[in-house]
Amino acid sequence: MLVLSFLVMNPLPNELVLEVAKHAAAGSQAEYRSWLLLSRGWYHAVRLVCLGHVPVSLFSSRAVDSFLALLEKYPNIASFVHHLWIPASNKADIAIARACTHLVSLACQSRILESISSMPTFLHTSLRELTIMTVWSPWERVLFAPHALQLCAQITHLRHFEGLPPDFPTNQLSSLQYLSFASFIYRDFIMKHVARLGDMTALESIVVTTSWQKDTSAMRPQTLAKALQAIDRRLKVVHTLKAFTELGAWLDRSRLERCLWSVARPDTIVAVGPPQRSDYDALCT
């Protein structure tokens, strides 16, 4: 709202104002709504253009049904949705994911990945970043989908809520550059996971998140970080504070702000908490 007040007092060219609107939409759903309510003219100017910058998160069945009804009424809206967080995998959830074919980042259950990879024609060719919420064998059914190889080959960023699953497709994820997963920080445990990644030549960064309390460890963070680097030079650890949430990490990444891969350091263990901005409100809640 402060941005809108400033613009009222200091008129700028429409092109520049539109860029400001895009930036605001990426950071706050409340700001996006404010732009829509500014005037009828700005509603039509920013409604679709800025939607591509809004991280859309759908947490309730009511939100899912509402958003699906919107897409059914205005099908062209789906192509402007670039970032989608959808925790469930019911019929309506799957319909939304299948409709939003221009997604760049997607956080979902593996059942949704299986569905979009089983469409007659693979349309999600812009999808590059995945957050997988399924913990147990998330890839097993996905890899049997007709377009699974194409999906896997285009993914560059991947976050698993838990440690690497047994069915992790190291060979198929040929473009993966950034990987992150949660784990206990035990040497043997970490080595078991990382040993499977040795042949992934495109992989540049492996960030392991843990809720381990660094103040209770006998080993200094710098010493522990060095020991983990000896396992794999790509390996870094991020300590997640109580305020940390997976949604918050995903929001920061979708806004191209400080994310797990950008804050992690090879020489020490960095702590992360809530997202950079306090606005958690979803577009549909």
Assigned domain for 81 exists: yes
Any idea what the CATH number is for the domain that residue 166 is in?
Answer: 3.80.10
Residues 115, 246, single domain; the answer is: yes
Residues 40, 8, single domain; the answer is: yes
Q: Which of 98-102, 159-163, 190-194 has the lowest mean pLDDT?
A: 190-194
Residues 160, 130, single domain; the answer is: yes
Number of domains in the chain: 2
| Residues pairing with 210 in the sheet | 239
Cα–Cα distance, 235 to 135 (Å, whole number):
21
Q: Which of 5-14, 16-25, 66-75 has the lowest mean pLDDT?
A: 5-14
Residues 127, 213, single domain; the answer is: yes
Query: If DSSP codes are grouped into helix, strand and coil, which group holds residue 210?
Result: strand
Assigned domain for 149 exists: yes
Cα–Cα distance, 203 to 181 (Å, whole number):
14
pLDDT for the residue 27: 60
Structural domain of residue 125, as residue ranges? 54-272
- Residues counted in the chain: 285
Residues 33, 129, single domain; the answer is: no
Residues 172, 116, single domain; the answer is: yes
- The pTM of the full predicted model, rounded to 2 decimals, is 0.85
230 CB neighbour count, 10 Å cutoff: 9
Residues 181, 82, single domain; the answer is: yes
Assigned domain for 144 exists: yes
Local confidence band at 282 (pLDDT 50, 70, 90 cut-offs)? very low
Considering only the C-alpha atoms of the chain, give the largest distance between any 2 of them, rounded to a whole number of Å: 61
